[in-house]
Structure 1
Amino acid sequence: MNDPRAVGPQIRMRLPSLTPLEGKVAADILDRRDITEATSLREVAEGSGVSEAMVVKVAKKLGFAGFREFRSGLIDYYGSDSASLHSEISAGDTAGEVVQKVFRTAMQALEETFAILDLDGFERAAEFLHRARQRDFYGLGGSAQIARDVSHKFLRIGIRTSVFDDAHMMMMSAALLTPDDVAVAYSHSGTTSAVIEALELARRNGARTIAVTNYADSPLARLADVVLCSTAQNSPLLGENATARIAQLNLLDALFVAVAQRDRKAADANLSRTMRAVQSKRRG
């Protein structure tokens, strides 16, 4: 974890893989913004009411070599500009404070999503989408709205995609995919059964698979050829999903541009055609 901004996201992405007790220990440590190089393993263990061995185990499950590396990573992270962007919304906040906190939390999600982005995977995803015969998108609820936004952008440059937000329709789509096609699954948690099952079937049929999720170790991510991860810090009022949506939209905007760049002449020509087609619908 060479980029301090990536430490917080890498920890958050692994939290679902912890047991309830391990998760409590991790949360206790993450809440300690006063942690320094002088903070001892014993002190941390006593603060959580667990053994020193348990703290070391949690550190390793979160991707660190041991407690010392975990401690150093947190010190670097909390010293970074992105970590300081987030602050909780309170009942007494003024309108100006609410706006500032919401915007700063979104800025943090963008900074940290960029810090953890797998550029090689991003390039592979762009290539899959560019070369595909058929491009099917799967998502439910808010994730389906993300898929529709991306589908709209691709249509503007002449790249046709299909969005499926019904479990039965997803399975029908996946059953018809071939090695010439690509399936893109959208799920914040990476645990949505209908989306997982559809992507699994698409994979069995030889289609390339892409997962857009917040958790790199989730069941959905483990199925995909490429994983595009967003990250966001949880907030009691905003929730994690709402903030992650901003990061996902920006990440997928970048993917859209990367695909368009692979045949810029065709993209520009199709963009002109689709813009002219809707121009007549505008008044003034």
Structure 2
Amino acid sequence: MGDPRAVGAQIRMRLPSLTPLEGKVAADILARKDIDEAMPLRAIAEGSGVSEAMVVKVAKKLGFAGFREFRQGLVDYYRSDTAALHSEISAEDTAGEIVQKVFRTAMQALEETFAILDLQAFERAADYLHRARQRDFYGLGGSAQIARDVSHKFLRIGLRSSVFDDAHMMMMSASLLGPEDVAVAFSHSGSTSAVIDAVELARRNGARTIAVTNYPDSPVARIVDVVLCSTAQNSPLLGENATARIAQLNLLDALFVAIAQRDRKAADLNLGRTMRAVQSKRRL
């Protein structure tokens, strides 16, 4: 693991792919701030109430070569400035403390999402969306709001897209897509059945598929051509989704710029046209 900021994200993002016991062990270990280079495997295993073999198994399922690499990764992560950004909100917090904690948690999500970003996947997504004849976005709830934000930005530079947040409409859309089109699934959990069903149909019809999700091993991530991952630390009050949306919005802003750069002259021309079109709606 080259970037220490990515360690915590790597562990959290793979928790859903673990068994309940493995997930508990991984979460217990991630929550420990007292781990150092000298802490033996036995001590960590005893702290989680499992065997040493179980700790090694969990380390490998999380993408580490073994316990020593897992331990060193955690040590490096907790020494990084990024790990220190997150603090839980308590009932006694003042308004100033609440604002600081919420902002710092969002900053952590941005730092960690940047650290785990697959630039090759990012480039492929930009190419697919730039060349597409039709761009259809699928999402429910908060994910649909992210899809709408992206669609709005695309329209500003002349790229047409459609947003679907109804299961039946998603399937109708997917049935009409073909090899020149792109379907983008927005799903924080990556397990929203309505979104997965639509993406599966779009892919069967030959369309390129992209997923924007928090979990690289999720059901939707396993069936698409390109996965763009965000990451965020869970919070009892804020939840994980709220913070992840901030990271996803920034990730998709970057994708928007990358697509615009592929034909900057056309993007600038269309941006000027769309800005002038709404200028008359502003009261001075």
TM-score (norm 2): 0.99
Q: CA deviation at 1:24?
A: 1.1
Q: Which residue of 2 aligns with 1:71?
A: 71
The count of residues paired between Structure 1 and Structure 2 equals: 284
d(CA) in 2 for partners of 1:2, 1:243: 24
1:236-284 deviations in Å (ceiling 9; x for gaps): 0000000000000000000000001111111111111111111111101
3-state SS of paired residue (1:222): coil
d(CA) in 1 for partners of 2:79, 2:234: 19
d(CA) in 1 for partners of 2:27, 2:162: 40
d(CA) in 1 for partners of 2:7, 2:31: 14
1:58 maps onto 2:58 in alignment: yes
The gaps in structure 1 that reach 5 residues or longer are none
d(CA) in 2 for partners of 1:28, 1:39: 15
2:96 counterpart letter in structure 1: G
Please list every run of at least 4 consecutive aligned residues from structure 1 whose deviation after the TM superposition is greater than 2 angstroms. Answer: none
Q: Which residue of 1 aligns with 2:91?
A: 91
d(CA) in 1 for partners of 2:283, 2:72: 59
Q: Which residue of 2 aligns with 1:221?
A: 221
Q: CA deviation at 1:186?
A: 0.1
Q: Which residue of 2 aligns with 1:237?
A: 237
Alignment of structure 1 residues 135-154 onto 2, 5 Å: 135-154=135-154
1:143 counterpart letter in structure 2: S
Q: CA deviation at 1:158?
A: 0.6
3-state SS of paired residue (2:197): helix
1:278 counterpart letter in structure 2: V
Q: CA deviation at 1:38?
A: 1.3
1:155-192 deviations in Å (ceiling 9; x for gaps): 01110000000001001111110000000000000000
1:233 counterpart letter in structure 2: Q
d(CA) in 2 for partners of 1:138, 1:27: 31
d(CA) in 1 for partners of 2:30, 2:117: 22
2:274 counterpart letter in structure 1: T
d(CA) in 2 for partners of 1:37, 1:282: 60
Q: CA deviation at 1:27?
A: 1.2
Q: CA deviation at 1:49?
A: 1.1
Identity %: 87
3-state SS of paired residue (1:172): helix
1:34-61 deviations in Å (ceiling 9; x for gaps): 1001111111111111111111111111
d(CA) in 2 for partners of 1:109, 1:65: 25
Q: Which residue of 1 aligns with 2:205?
A: 205
TM-score (norm 1): 0.99
2:23 counterpart letter in structure 1: G
Q: Which residue of 2 aligns with 1:10?
A: 10
Q: CA RMSD in A?
A: 0.6
1:169 maps onto 2:169 in alignment: yes
d(CA) in 2 for partners of 1:147, 1:180: 20
3-state SS of paired residue (2:233): coil
